Amino acid sequence: MPNRDSIEVLLREGRTFPPPPEFAAAAGMADPQIYDDAASDPEAFWARCASELDWIHPWTKVLDWKPPHARWFVDGKLNASANCLDRHLKTRSNQAALIWEGEPGDERTLTYRDLWRETCKAANMLKSLGVRRGDRVTLYMPLVPELAISMLACARIGAVHSVVFGGFSADSLRDRIQDQEAVLVITADGGYRRGAQVPLKRTVDEALEGCPSVKNVIIYKRGEFPIHVQEGRDHWWHRLMADQKIACEPEAMDSEDMLYILYTSGTTGKPKGIVHTTGGYLTGVNATFRWVFDLKEGDRYWCTADIGWVTGHSYVVYGPLSNGATVFMYEGAPDWPERDRFWSLVEKHGITIFYTAPTAIRAFMKWGTQEPARHDLSSLRLLGSVGEPINPEAWVWYHRNIGGGRCPVVDTWWQTETGMIMIAPLPGQTNCKPGSATMALPGVSAEVLDQKGEKVKIGGGYLAITRPWPAMLRGIYGDPERYTSVYWSRWGNEIYFPGDGARRDTDGFFWLLGRVDDVLNVAGHRIGTMEVESALVDHPWVAEAAVIGREHELKGQAIAAFVTLKDAHKGSPELMDELKEHVVKRIGALARPDAIFFSADLPKTRSGKIMRRLLKDIAEGRMLGDTTTLADPAVIQALKEKYGEEG
């Protein structure tokens, strides 16, 4: 490889990556005029986007903004499942809507007609069990087509779905079911992950102890998993479905009716149930999907996220299907049975658009270029990234080794709360810089502000969204005060505070710098330090715990916990393992601490605040920063002596 092409050289030169000419020539969004059009009248702009959808009844007002509460497309009536399915039946009946591959290698294809039919039947199945408009339905399933079908079936009858990622524990699942008072749970007998069986139904059984609101459980049969069926409460999916009629009129939902609740971590011990509604959300994900992924007829689009996260809601289900795209879904792990599974899938299914997370890209880098090189990836024409800041090295590696240098890479910044992509390139026109999510999308207003709310033109500060946007969260389920205090209080109630640090460069590009609150991003998953701390202190021997994120080569951040034990208990390797398992039981495997440090005391300020910054220094094996505000310097001295060298 010629020297001037090395990654270091490219980055040092601050090289930009303009759209490849061939790509730009065919791109759907090549004209930069769209930014000005949108900015000159954002409401008219979003109304044009909303008109792309099928409305049962038109809206009378685009936006009703009473900060911090927005209503979009007021009085409009529509149905999300009809927009994802029925309206494609005339033109795409026999086109694949979902192409699915299970981890063991089983395959299924559902055309738009198939997906519509199964959704209608599933909607009738829910009705037959008494589920009504406005009821909450919890989905705890593997990544199978029936998960998408269940979501669309809820949407069809106006029930609110709430997907809980299959990696969450029984305790986490129970908390969520109780918070939303779900009437029904849809699960599967089990799922597959890295060749192992995930006992989903068993976890549901455990979670349901203490959930009186749940009257029925539907079990999709994924394999041969031993399960317990509770007479009167539990029903097999296939048995119920066998009796259902196909005809099922979609409910006319108000634009502001709730579509789903999705839980995400914040700075307290209790996850927030983020509420998304129908008209604005669908408008936002429909438009942004088309723009950012430059959708074309014949595309095969694969987003590797699990549907348990917002990425799966917006960009596996509602965005792509409302656009009539063909979506590929893979159930399992990237390294099963071998480390080239993803690339073998790209080759086998002719994937054209591929959307994944930086943590995965860093794993691919570590596994080596020989893995993608073994496969023909020439079908790919666009690559995406989401979930955390992408380091420039990973961006360039992805561009070169997966995209063969010919595919634009779109780094997309957004959140569970924003519902839709907010900051990202338009691949047909933006000159990308590796590591920067570039600019706010048309119709989105983003700034970097300082503590006081002054605009930072060039330099670092906090990311802020300065206008309402259609897919914005409408609240935190059951907690209106928290909605205002968490998101709309930093600079008054008209400016949204996402919780991310950001920098703007001389071109006005955004560089996202990670969370500025006590929220960690572990392998692209959001975990609150307080959640892990509450899980730890819930162990009978633990007196106090402080959790921090320390840098991790693959995961971005890994969880490190400093724990003080109650008198008479001593730290040991066995107790370390026990505490890690305790967190897994309380939250789920995704929150398992990487390291536990036992300490007689935690470093605190004189007012009793734990000095996490110092703990981070110790966990990352660094020289300690300023320690002058410590109440008791001996604490940190002891920690340093114990853990100083090993880091």
Residues that bind ligand WT7 in the complex, under the rule CB under 6 A? 264, 309-311, 386-389, 411-416, 437, 498-500, 512, 514-515, 521, 526
- Alpha carbon distances (Å) from 215 to 188, 233, 242: 17, 6, 21
- Judged by beta carbon, residue 142 or residue 387, the one nearer ligand WT7 is 387
- Judged by beta carbon, residue 473 or residue 602, the one nearer ligand WT7 is 473
Task: Give the shortest CB-515-to-ligand WT7 separation in angstroms.
Answer: 5
Task: Give the shortest CB-92-to-ligand WT7 separation in angstroms.
Answer: 27
- Rounded to 5 degrees, what are φ and ψ at 460? -100, 160
DSSP per residue over 232-253, as a string? Answer: TTEEEHHHHHHT--S--PPP-E
DSSP 374: T
- Judged by beta carbon, residue 277 or residue 311, the one nearer ligand WT7 is 311
Cα 275-276-280 angle, rounded to 5 deg: 150
Q: Which residues 6+ apart lie within 8 Å of 558 measured at CB?
A: 522, 549, 550, 551, 552, 594, 595
Q: Which residues 6+ apart lie within 8 Å of 626 measured at CB?
A: none
3-class DSSP string for 394-447? HHHHHHHHHCCCCCCEEEEECCCCCCCCCECCCCCCCCECCCCCECECCCCCEE
- Judged by beta carbon, residue 416 or residue 599, the one nearer ligand WT7 is 416
Task: Give the shortest CB-318-to-ligand WT7 separation in angstroms.
Answer: 14
Q: CA 315, CA 420: separation in Å to the nearest integer?
A: 9
- Judged by beta carbon, residue 216 or residue 311, the one nearer ligand WT7 is 311
- Other CB atoms closer than 10 Å to residue 295's CB: what's the count? 21
- Judged by beta carbon, residue 309 or residue 469, the one nearer ligand WT7 is 309
Positions of E strands within 144-213: 160-163, 184-188, 191-193, 196-198
Task: Give the shortest CB-642-to-ligand WT7 separation in angstroms.
Answer: 32
- Judged by beta carbon, residue 154 or residue 274, the one nearer ligand WT7 is 274
- Alpha carbon distances (Å) from 558 to 356, 455, 525, 563, 575: 19, 33, 11, 16, 19
Task: Give the shortest CB-569-to-ligand WT7 separation in angstroms.
Answer: 35
Task: Give the shortest CB-139-to-ligand WT7 separation in angstroms.
Answer: 18
- Judged by beta carbon, residue 389 or residue 408, the one nearer ligand WT7 is 389
- Judged by beta carbon, residue 310 or residue 351, the one nearer ligand WT7 is 310
Q: CA 321, CA 303: separation in Å to the nearest integer?
A: 13
Interhelix angle for 112-128 vs 145-157, to 10°? 60
Task: Give the shortest CB-554-to-ligand WT7 separation in angstroms.
Answer: 16
Dihedral angle computed from the Cα positions of residues 625, 629, 631 and 632, in that order, rounded to the nearest 10 degrees: 30
Task: Give the shortest CB-192-to-ligand WT7 separation in angstroms.
Answer: 23
Does an H or E element contain 638, and which?
helix 633-643
- Judged by beta carbon, residue 280 or residue 549, the one nearer ligand WT7 is 549
Q: Which amino acid is at 325?
A: A
Q: Which amino acid is at 144?
A: V
Task: Give the shortest CB-502-to-ligand WT7 separation in angstroms.
Answer: 9
- Judged by beta carbon, residue 332 or residue 425, the one nearer ligand WT7 is 425
Task: Give the shortest CB-303-to-ligand WT7 separation in angstroms.
Answer: 10
Structure tokens at 315: 């960009």
Task: Give the shortest CB-436-to-ligand WT7 separation in angstroms.
Answer: 9
At 176 the three-state DSSP class reads helix
| CB contact at 8 A, 394 and 363 | no
